[in-house]
Amino acid sequence: MARLLITGGAGFIGSHTCVVLLQAGHELVVIDNFHNSCPEACRRVERLTGRTLVLEQADVRDGPRLNSVFDRHGRFDGVIHFAGLKAVGESVKEPLLYWHVNVCGSRTLLQAMAAHGCRTLVFSSSATLYGNPDSNPIAETAPIRPVNPYGQSKAAVERMSRDVAESQPGCKGWRLACLRYFNPVGAHPSGEIGEAPQGIPDNLFPFISQVAMGERSSLDVFGGDWPTPDGSGVRDYIHVMDLAAGHCVTLEHLLDGQPQLLTLNLGSGCGTSVLQALAAFERVVGRSIPHRIVARRPGDVAMTVADPGRAAAVLGWQTERTLAEMCADGWHWQQRNPLGFG
């Protein structure tokens, strides 16, 4: 059992990870500023697991507040850092905001950890930092070439983590992991927690769900002329519960191991096109979902698929849930919670 601080634990990936961590017996203090999430997610996590967690409203950029969290809750064995902004389009319009929240927030957190002798951190990174890859599947050794401020901010935090790890021989006791997520989708199978995007969803799965619900009239498939088997974009979708399990085993691996910096892809290794994802969703819903093929979305790439071999070798972790389960669980959540957390 470990005592853990979870930043951004009321969000989509954070809340699912809290379920897995509580079920594994860990004790959690969650902080969140509720900018893009709500406390109800944590209450539902408690109901699902039959366990309690401590929830506080706090912003990771607020150093005195973070120090107070560390002071009041005693020693933490480790931190999982989800808190941050993640909308690519917004990051292009508001780059300073993204550098402030994602980079300054991570720096403030690392400083508070160092001041309180906590040197184990799992950081939410993203496959977005590979940009337009030279080839697929993408290994962790591929060049880092982010193409937007959101990706730049993730790359900067990875760089900062490396500097911290190398600041003293033998990492001076730091145990750090940067987890590069591919495309997280789906929801907890209970339908109690899931993704609740505000406004018009940017991402494919929430958009398909809303069209299937009749909230939107049709899906725009961005590009039918990509150099892929069916002409639509190919991604590596990962069920959020597999991703959550990946965080739990990474954290436990760090706590059991030597000081180190671990950089891992978390993906399935399978490519799925937009049209294949749509067909899988239609099978779950039991009817066709209106769509039309339109121009490519600026900034998109043809294909990103993970090479998940390092995570399998180091952690013994691999994805277990199928595309059909991603669609079924996402649809179940959407039907039960048409207004998200209300």
Please give the positions annotated as active site.
150
Contact positions with ligand UD1 (CB under 6 A) in 264-293: 274
Kindly state whether residue 235 participates in binding ligand UD1, applying the rule CB under 6 A: yes
Contact positions with ligand UD1 (CB under 6 A) in 147-186: 150, 183-184
Residues 6+ apart with CB under 8 A from 218: 211, 290, 291, 292
CB atoms within 10 A of CB 62: 16
Kindly state whether residue 299 participates in binding ligand UD1, applying the rule CB under 6 A: yes
Kindly state whether residue 204 participates in binding ligand UD1, applying the rule CB under 6 A: yes
Kindly state whether residue 300 participates in binding ligand UD1, applying the rule CB under 6 A: yes
By C-alpha distance, which of 122, 105, 229 is closest to 175?
122
Kindly state whether residue 126 participates in binding ligand UD1, applying the rule CB under 6 A: yes
188 or 253, CB closer to ligand UD1? 188
Question: CA torsion angle for 184, 306, 249, 195 (degrees, to 10)?
Answer: 0
Which of residues 190, 222, 276, 309 is near ligand UD1 by CB under 6 A? 222
List the structure tokens of 234.
Answer: 């190919």
By C-alpha distance, which of 117, 102, 252 is closest to 177?
252
Kindly state whether residue 229 participates in binding ligand UD1, applying the rule CB under 6 A: no
By C-alpha distance, which of 89, 81, 267 is closest to 180?
267
Kindly state whether residue 102 participates in binding ligand UD1, applying the rule CB under 6 A: no
CB atoms within 10 A of CB 299: 13
Residue nearest to ligand UD1 (CB): 233
Site stretch for ligand UD1 (CB under 6 A), options 13-21, 137-145, 197-205, 321-329: 197-205
CA atoms of 218 and 127, how far apart (whole Å): 28
Point out which residues bind ligand UD1 (CB under 6 A): 88, 126, 128, 150, 183-184, 202-204, 207, 219-222, 233, 235, 274, 297, 299-300
